[in-house]
Structure 1
Amino acid sequence: MDEIKRNNVEYARIKKLSEFDLDYGNLQNEFQGLVELAAHIAGTRISLINLIDSHSQWTVSSYCHKLFEMDREDSICQYTIQSESPMEIHRLDKDARFMDKPYVKDDGFKYYLGIPLMVETGESIGALCVIDHQDKNISEEKKKLLRLVADEIVKRLESKMKLDSLQDQLDRAIVQRNQMAHDVRGPVGGILGLALSAENESLEHSEFDLYMGMIKSSASKLLELTDDILERRKEQLKENYFTLSEFKKHLEDLYALPALNKKIDFGVVFNKEKNHHSFPRRKLLPISGNIIANAIKFTAPKGKIAVNLDIMDTEGNVSLLIEVKDNGRGIRKEKLQEFMGKSVVSERGTNNEEGYGMGLQLVNEMVRSMKGSLNIQSEEGKGTVVKIKIPVNRT
């Protein structure tokens, strides 16, 4: 496969992973039963579900292992996803690709079996793998069972993506319903107020009293209904929306450790005065994650990465601002033009990390699909500032 075709295949793969819009830190419990089942089928001590993006391997669910993130070029599963077939290695300590890795040295891992997680459209977004400190002899029948477990993982991920899409549609309907609730609440409150006033007057006809009582009762029930609509809207916000502080926490949970491993000062700040705003979380983690991962890659040890989150309100147009600033090596002007164009380029990071050249191109595409804007200012040797502005609904 030539380089252009290989790059196109890889870009399609990481784009497909981004479409799942996963929060890698919140999937452990969802797949716990399946990784445990995989380990029992294989008779291994460890089982992992690994998803692989442009820069990192994310262990989103694991059995008897606590690894969460590692550089992609250090992983074993990076090779598994290059084929449709399982990859089995009986002696990692005798394989030139892995024998010097920290997880293999001394009394480290010896056996590996990985099964690619291939989605309906044909891309492998990661792998289910079983690992042990001793060599194993897993039968073909058990490998078929592990393939079924991997298929179930993919089905759950695809179902989750479809549900998220339906949730987006539901959210839009809820916004309309929420507006209706506010619109109805005003006149209904007026009816109730009128009924209460009339109740305090001296009325001659008992029928009129009964009629007014019915008005009051009906108005009270309508108010209860609108309050219930608004409360349910608040619950939806908790699950599918972020505030600035919640967004900050997710970014810190995902990227503080990779930055620390490279001895980079990483911090996220937000405008506390705008923390009452909530906004859809859709696509925000893959967008911001790719930018931050790029910054980590191209910032030298003891460097600094600062992320700023804010809400901009200009004449009633509300937008989320994501700013990522680093003092890394910067991007040459011609390279930046390539990043923002259609070509896919690759460079190695400051610690010689392998580059896949897809992150900025993918971010640019996602931001445009949300009718947002992406601005990159960079000076070679002095660092890079990436500003992303995404319109959001007022909530």
Structure 2
Amino acid sequence: MTTQFPTPANELDRILTLSDFNVDYSNFDDQFKDLAKLAASVAGTEISLVGLIDSYTQWIISGHGMEIQQTPREETVCQYTIMEEDHLEIENLSMDSRFQEKPFVTKDPNLRYYYGIPLKSEGHNIGTLCLLDRSAKKLAPEKTELLKIIAEEIVNRLKTYKTIELLRHKVTEVTDTKNKVVHDIRGPLGGIIGLAQIISEQGKDNNMDEVLEFINLIHKSGNSILELADEILSAEKKTTVKVKGDELNLRVFREKLEKLYVPQAKIKGIKFTVSISPETETVPFPKNKLLQITGNLISNAIKFTPQGGNVQVNLVLTARENPNVLRISVTDSGSGLTQSQIDNIIEGTSTSTEGTDGEAGYGFGLALVKHLIDGLRGSFNITSDQAGATFEVILPQ
């Protein structure tokens, strides 16, 4: 039997809006810490959390009063908040049938009060600012208005981050254009220098002293420009091993995936491993949507892998091709998929089911993956047998 969980009518559009921010959920704490603390101060609560809700998980990108990084979406109060237009207030969680048996109510931290405000972008609720306390209470109207202002500022900062990332991408494009220009001028300059050298070598026969002097100057100037071009290209090659804000390399990619998804695997008792191709582990590539694509595949694999099973991620960057090609494969040891189920996923018509431990199925994780891969002009393949399933993504870089 499939449990019904609250899902916005525009869920696919909602998670697509979130994916457009291209957020790395692991490195935002410092940027929102001040707002989280301010919100707790305004509300008079012990705890304040800033969370973004994707297909499977609520990611806590910053907080005050509680150390927590992620929560399964179906275990949160905030999954109900993103269904609201304005806010959700629950004065006593222990009196609400939806939450009174939840561990965060019956055990430490023994929460009672909840107040949540949706974080809105382009008309979609991508996350929440939530206030929590161990005592039941009710907020005064003037405080709620201040909290809404703080929630708007959180979204504004997210939009600023998005804009900066776009600008970084544009700067990268400009750098690539400069690189191309340098390559383009090398040919003509080399020709000029070669011609000048030939004329210089035959100059005595031509008896053109003034021309020879002029040609020698061209020769020297041309060599200087060519040396400058080599310096620029050399500098560009030296910087390619560094990872800019809008890039990843396989080593950094693996570290981020382990940080984000090892906790999910441990909670369920699953072995989670990430392997990379060592020969290209430091070659940079754009991080555009990669965490969203791979993260949804990993969460889906964990969902359908029983306790004691394995989820393996393999990341391979082939740098000999033009363009480079990134191959991502996620393999689980679950019950596998039928050909009909595989076809439905590829066609975007699959429906949600519960995981092996009754985890929620919201039905849009793999649909999001397929949409993002298509947008990046990649390919998506699924193979399966009784030993599990493998999801493979191939993306030109």
Instruction: State the TM-score, normalized to the length of structure 1.
Output: 0.86
Instruction: Note if 1:274 corresponds to 2:276.
Output: no
Letter in 2 for 1:351: D
Partner secondary structure for residue 311 of structure 1? strand
Q: Cα offset for 1:284? A: 0.3
Structure-to-structure mapping, 1:1-395, within 5 angstroms: 9-106=10-107, 108-119=110-121, 121-181=122-182, 237-312=243-318, 316-343=322-349, 345-379=351-385, 381-392=386-397
- CA RMSD in angstroms comes to 3.0
- Distance in 2 (alpha carbons) for counterparts of 1:346 and 1:240: 33
Q: Distance in 2 between matches of 1:364 and 1:38?
A: 37
Aligned length: 378
Alpha-carbon separation, structure 1, partners of 2:136 and 2:264: 31
Tell me if structure 2 keeps the 8 A contact 1:178–1:230.
Answer: no
Structure 1: runs of 5 or more not aligned? 199-204
Q: How far does the alpha carbon of each residue in 1:126-173 deviate from its partner, in whole angstroms, 9 at most, with x for none?
A: 100111111233211111000000011111112222332333233222
Shift of 1:268: 0.2
Q: Deviations over 1:360-384 (max 9, x none)?
A: 11111111111110000123x4311
Distance 1:76 1:29, change over 3 A: same
Q: Deviations over 1:251-276 (max 9, x none)?
A: 11110110110000100001101224
Change (3 A) 1:232 1:104: same
Query: Structure 1 pair 39/86, CA: closer, same or farther in 2 (3 Å)?
Result: same
Q: Does the CA contact (< 8 Å) of 1:49 and 1:62 recur in 2?
A: yes
Cα pair 1:38 1:149 within 8 Å, conserved = yes
Give the Cα separation in 1 of the matches to 2:359 and 2:319: 39
> What amino acid is aligned across from residue 120 of structure 2 in structure 1?
M
For 1:233 and 1:308, the matched residues in 2 are separated by 23
| Aligned partners of 1:178 and 1:233 also within 8 Å | no
Q: Distance in 1 between matches of 2:44 and 2:8?
A: 37
CA contact (8 A) 2:331 2:391 kept: yes
Amino acid paired to 1:18: S
Q: Is the 8 A contact 2:165 2:245 kept in 1?
A: no
The 3-state SS of whatever aligns with 1:239 is coil
The answer on whether the counterparts of 1:185 and 1:226 sit within 8 Å (CA) in structure 2 is no
* Other structure's SS at 2:383 match: strand
Q: For 1:265, give the aligned amino acid.
A: K
Q: For the structure 1 residues 271 and 184, does the alpha-carbon distance in structure 2 shift closer, same or farther, using more than 3 Å as the test?
A: same
- Going from structure 1 to structure 2, the CA distance change for 1:111 and 1:7 (only over 3 Å counts) comes to closer
CA contact (8 A) 2:168 2:245 kept: no
Query: Deviations along 1:187-225, whole A, 9 cap, x unmatched?
Result: 989999x99xx9xxxxxx9x9999999888777766666
CA distance in 2, matches of 1:7, 1:346: 14
Mapped to 1, the partners of 2:184 and 2:9 lie a distance apart of: 50
SS at match of 2:26: helix
Q: Contact 2:47–2:132 (CA<8 Å) still a contact in 1? A: yes
**Secondary structure of the structure 2 residue equivalent to 1:16:** helix
Q: 1:313 to 1:82 in 2, by over 3 A?
A: same
1:104 offset after TM fit, Å?
1.0
Letter in 2 for 1:246: V
TM-score w.r.t. length of structure 2: 0.85
| Secondary structure class of the residue paired with 2:359 | coil
Structure 2: segments with no counterpart, 5+ residues: 201-209
Q: Contact conserved, 2:92 with 2:137, CA < 8 A, in 1?
A: no
Instruction: State the distance in 2 between where 1:159 and 1:344 align.
Output: 35
Kept in 2, the 8 Å contact 1:113–1:130? The answer is yes
